[in-house]
Structure 1
Amino acid sequence: MTFEPIQISDLPQITQLTPEGWDDITIKVKHYIDSAFCFPIKLVVNHKVVAIGATIVHEHVAWLGHIIVDPSERGKGYGKIMTNELIRIAQLSNCTSIQLIATDMGAPVYAKIGFQESTSYLFFEGIPLTHPEEPDNNILPYQSNFKPALLALDQAITAEHRLCEIEPHLQSAYVYADNNNMSAYYLPTLGEGFIASNEPTAGIALLKLHLKQNSKVVLPKENRPAISFLTSQGYRVKREAKRMYLGDHIDVQFQYIFNRIGGNIG
C-alpha cells in the first residue's frame, strides 16, 4: 500500500472512478495537478489505484476534495486511510482548519475521524425562471479597479485567502455596484458559478443572472432570502450535503453565499 502523486498519465484510469451522477472528475484532477497549491494523490494497492483524493491549500485553510474509493474496493477502510493522509498533508502545509463537503456515504467516516458539521448546503435544481426580468443596471462586467474590494469581500464572507482560486476567473466575472460601491460578485467560470453578496438585493440580482443559463443552485441553509426567492420561483430542495470541518472553526458568513463553487472547495 503506497501513496503517490497523481500524474497526467493516470487520468484514463481515474476517469473510471467517476461516481454515478458526477461530472467527469478528470477535469478537476487535472486542475489539481497543474496548481501549485493543490496536492492530488492516489492510494495504490497491488499495483491498482483503489482511492484518490486531493488537499487544496488556501493559506491557513485546507479543503479535501474528490475523495473517491473504487466501488469494488469499498468496505476495506480505504476512504479513512485516504482522508487521514490528506489531513497529514494539510497539517504539513500549516493549515489549522480543514474543510470538506460530505456525501451521505462519506459523512459517517469523517465524523469518526473528528470532523464536525458547520452547515448544510441545499440543492435546488431543474426549474428555470418563470419570468426572466430585464437586466439590472447595477450589474457590471468586472474591471480591475474592483479587485481590492472583491478580494476583501470574499475574505470577509468565506474567512479564507483565495486569490489563487479567484484570480484566473476575474476576467469573466460580474459585480454588483451602486455608485461604484460593490456589494456582490459572480464568478460564472469558477466551479458551479460562485455568488457572494453582503446585501440580499444584490445577491438575488446576480442569482437571476446565473439562472438565465443554469437551472441549478446550491447554497447554505442560512441564506433565507435566496431560499425564499427560489421557492417563489417553483424550485424545491432536491437534497442536502453537510459541510464539515476539522481543527479551527472559521467564521464563514453563510447567509451571504448565494451559490457555491463545488464539492471540492465549498
Structure 2
Amino acid sequence: MKKLALVTGATSGIGKATAMLLAENGYSLILTGRRAELLESVKKEAEIKHKTEVLALNFDVRDKEAVASAVESLPERWRKIDVLINNAGLAVGLNHIQDGVIDDWDRMIDTNIKGLLYITRAIVPLMIERGSGHIINIGSIAGTEVYENGNVYCASKHAVEAITKGMRIDLLKEGIKVSGIRPGMVETEFSSVRYKGDDELAKKTYQGISPLFAEDIAQTILFVLNRPAHVNINDLVIMPTAQASATYVNRVVQ
C-alpha cells in the first residue's frame, strides 16, 4: 500500500521538488497551495510523470477556517496521512526594525508560524488515531541565527525551531516522528518574494556562489523519511559549500 504525504506550499520551489520526488518514490500526495493554476499544474505533472494519485487542496495556510474545512472534508481514504511536510513559508522585505512594514510582519508571522500550527493541528489527530506518522518542518538557518534586517523573519523561524522541539516532546508517546530541516541559501522564489518581485536584486543574492537548489532539499527530506522506524533525524542543517553561516559566504568575484 502506498504511503500518503501532505506537502504544503507545493506550487513551486522546495514544495514542488519534494512532491515530485515523493511521487517518483511511490507516495500518493495531498498538495496544498494558494495559486490554483500552479497547483493544478503540479498535480497533473505528478500524475502523468509518476503515475500516482494526487489530491490538490487550494487554500492559504493563513486561513484557519479554510485549513480546517479542507482537512475535515477529506474522503476517508485520503485521511490516512503518513507524512506531513510543513514547507509553506516566506520572507518579505528587508528593513531595519524601525522601518519595518507591519503588513510584511503579519504575512511572515501568519504564514511561517500560524499557518504551520493550523495545518499541524488539523493533521496530527489523524496520525494519533493510527499511532504513527512523520512530520517534517522546513525551517531555516535563521531559526538559530539573526542577521541585519532579518528581525521578524528570523523571529518566525526561531519560533518554528521551538515549535518543532515542543512538538517532538508532545508527540513522543504517540509514535509520531518529528524532524526539522534548516536550509541555508536555496535558489528558489524565496529571494524574489523577499524583494517583492525585484528579480535583479534577487539574483544578486546568489551571485558568485553555487547555492543549494530545491531538489537538494527534496533529496534531504527523502533521506530523513527513509530512515528505519527506530531512527529519527531530529535536526538537520544543510548549506551550500560556499556558506558557513547566515552572514559568512565565500563569493567568487565575477
Q: Which protein has the bigger helix share?
A: 2
* Structure possessing the higher relative contact order (Cα contacts under 8 Å, 6 or more residues apart): 1
Shorter-chain TM range is: under 0.3
Q: Which protein has the bigger strand share?
A: 1
TM-score normalised according to structure 1 size: 0.25
